[in-house]
Structure formats: structure tokens, C-alpha cells
Chain A
Amino acid sequence: MTYKREGRKNDEPRKIIAKAGVIPRADGSGYFKIGNTEAYAAVYGPRNLFPKFKQDPKKGILRCNYNMMPFSGMGNRVRPGANRRSKEISMVTEKALAPVLDLGDYPNSVVDVFIELPQTDAGSRCAGICAASIALADAGLTMKDLVCSIAIGSINDTLLVDLDYDEEAYEGSVADIPLAVIPRTGELTLLQMDGVVDKDNLFKAFELGKKAIKIIYEVQKNALKDKYKQEASIKTGKAEDKSSAVKKEESDESKTASKEGQK
């Protein structure tokens, strides 16, 4: 019996909204919403890393933290704090993002990425990776490309892009394959699987994934460009005028002159 999807096509991801620079105090931040799954990512750093034994004298390290908020689940309260699942996802997120990031200019330092999910409806690690990739670019770090991520599912051998929670919980043979891809080269940086899928379907899933990645990449790119769009009108001559870094305070004459002006 094949599964019939309601409301959208099999190769169609849910509605995506992305933004850059949503957290003012962070060095870079991103927001990524796909369907009802929402992720915020904040990047801090490069900054000093303690404890010292964790420092790498050759390059900076990347540290990710994935966290589902207590009210983010479907019905039940998610217990706050790290658990086995969130630790694993933090680790795979780190490994999905590390291949594009070049921290060679920042020895002994750390870049912290905090991913918070206020609302989840399956596909949360993928949303987290997409948000984190926007945030890292927004933080002005050296990256060879963005990272896009999507989950491909299979229900009773029907391949579907971007499962939601109801589909993931479907009574039948369900498989879920989260992917993260470097869009320009098509390299995979994350590949996990939950459930059973045969070899043919796995390769078909990659093809579906590559198509969906293109949509996500455009959304991420536009989110970043929108934030900085207006800055394109900067008088670029000014941008290079760094020569006079510190201006000495005004000479005494002009100071007294302006004080008199006030009176």
C-alpha cells in the first residue's frame, strides 16, 4: 500500500522563512523556519577559549549547542538541559558545519554556535544546521560555502521530501534520512538514517535532496542579502579610509571656542 501525501507534492518541502541578524547582541545570528519547525542560531566569537587544554594552536575550534525549548515539543514538556539526543545532534551539527568553515586565522580561539528551537515539528536538526549556516556567514567568518540541510523520508517505500511529525509517526514502514549538503559542490556533510531503506531508494533520496537543497540555498542567500542590501549604497571610498584610526582630541583653542559657543 503506497502512502498518499495530503496538501503538498512528494518532492516539495514545507514553507520556508529565513532571516539573518535577528539577535542584536550576538556576533552573527540566523532564523530558519520550515513548516512548523523553527530554529534560531546565535554565533559568538571567535573568542577566547577556556579551559585552556581545549585550545588548538593551529586553528580555532567550532562548538555547537543544540537545544529544544521546554515548550517546543508536541504535547509533552521537553525536559530542559542536555540529554543524549541533544548531545548527539550538537555533535553532528558541528561536523556538518566544520568542512566549510576556515578558522585558521584564529588559533586558540572558539566560535560558539547556540541553536535554540522554540517550536518543533520534525526536521529540527536540519533547520538548526540551516540557521547556523546563516548565522556563521552573518558573523563574517571565512567559509567556502553555506551549508543546506533537509530530511528525506520514506513511507511504505514512497519517497517524500521534508517529513513533518505526523508523517514521521505514521503507522507503517517509515524511514527518515537527514542530509546536509554543500550546495556548490554537492558534497554531503551530514548523512543519518532512522528506519529501513533499500539501496535504490537511498540513491533516489539523494537526488530528491539535491533538488530541495537548491530551494533552501536560495532562501538562505536571500535572507543574508536582505539584511545587507541597503548597505550596497555605501560610498565605498569611505570603507577604505581606515588610515586615521584614532583622532587626537581637539586642540585647546577650538575646545574653548565651542564652549563659548554654547554659552
Chain B
Amino acid sequence: MLKIENLQVKLEEEDKQILKGVTLEVPAGAVHAIMGPNGSGKSTLSYVLSGRDGYEVTGGAAELEGEDLLELEPEERAAAGLFLAFQYPVEIPGVGNMTFLRTALNAQRKSRGEEELSAADFLKLIREKAKSLKIDAEMLKRSVNVGFSGGEKKRNEILQMAMLEPKMCVLDETDSGLDVDAMKLVAEGVNALRSEGRSFLVITHYQRLLDHIKPDVVHIMADGRIVKSGGPELALEVENNGYADILEEVA
């Protein structure tokens, strides 16, 4: 599904190499996790994949189902099936949550040559999805993320994911700022979306999210590279011993 090969990225504004050759492949239906200490380049990876400005790719490649992601505009990547759940979802005053989602969904459908969803069908769909994430009508009516609590913002991200039905979901520290109950709710939302044709890349600092979203493979990232990959037990190792041991071991 997602194939990243020797990806090298530096900041556009300053001469600072952040990713120094990331190689990673997430097969269809798989859940991979990336863990790593602060500053290891995890969030940069998610931004570069989704097409945010400010980064310069200096080498390597990233493909989604064989399509070169790095050549596409952010909206084209979304239409191709990539979804980034933001670490810090953006507040957009004046744009209603419903309008936002409907615009996004129909824009994606249109670019794929599919029919746009009617207002009635959209309403039915969103009510159903919102309910399972405990998002009430009031939240749907408000401006995008404006006045939402940290948990509400993250639930709203998962709602968007559920509505847009992407193939490849990148979750950037979705657990940050969540209490245990909120994390469980978010994890349930993610698990409900797991399917054969959909893959996940879960970026996190902590193992606890992975208790709820069970990964197939765990990668450890440090200093702009994947330094170690393994099964779920790798996450437990990090939880128990911290990153220091692993980093020493691979050094």
C-alpha cells in the first residue's frame, strides 16, 4: 500500500536534514506503528507524506499503491486515498464542520470521477458515523474545531477519517492530549475502520495507544531513520526500558 524508500528530507528555510533515509513498507490491511523520541522526525514524515509546505525532499521516494505521492498536491494525495490525522487539528472559524466535511467528501469524489453525495445522503451518513464517536449535532454545526476540547478535536479527526474512507491512514500522535476514556473512544473508532483494504501508520510516543490499536509491526525511529523494526513486543520493550537501550544497541 504505502512504500517509502530511502526518503531524505530537509527543512526548506534552514539547512537542516530531518529525514536521513527512511525506508518502510506498509502492506494493504496492515497496521504499522512508528515510535521514537522527540525530534526523531516522526511528525516530519507525516507532513511530507501529506504534502505540507516547508519541506524539501532531497532524495528517495514515497508511493501509494504505486503512485508517486511526492509529485501530487495535498488534495490529490487525499483523493488518492491518503489521510493524515493531525496532531494539532486546525481551528477554522466561519467554516461549519458539516460544510467542511461535505465539501471535502464531494471534492474527493468528484476528482475520482464519482457522483457527488446528495445533501440527504450525506446527512444520513454523517449522523450514523458521528453517533458511534459520540459526536453530537451541536459539534457538527459548529465551526471546524473551534471551541472543541482536545478530545473532541481528535474525535473529529476520526470522524473525518470515517467519512472520507481513505486507504492509507497516517495518525500523527493521535493520543497526545487525550485522557484514558477519550483514547479508548478514538481507538475504537480506528479499530472499526480496520479492514483488508485499509492500512494504518500510527505515530506515537507511547505504547499505551498500541494497547488499543494493536499493530502488526512496530518501527523505532531515531535521528531521521528507522533503526529497528519488530513485532508488538518492541513497543513493550520501549515502554519498559525507554529508547536508550535500543538506541545503544543499534549504535
| A pairs with B | no
B residues with CB within 8 A of A = none
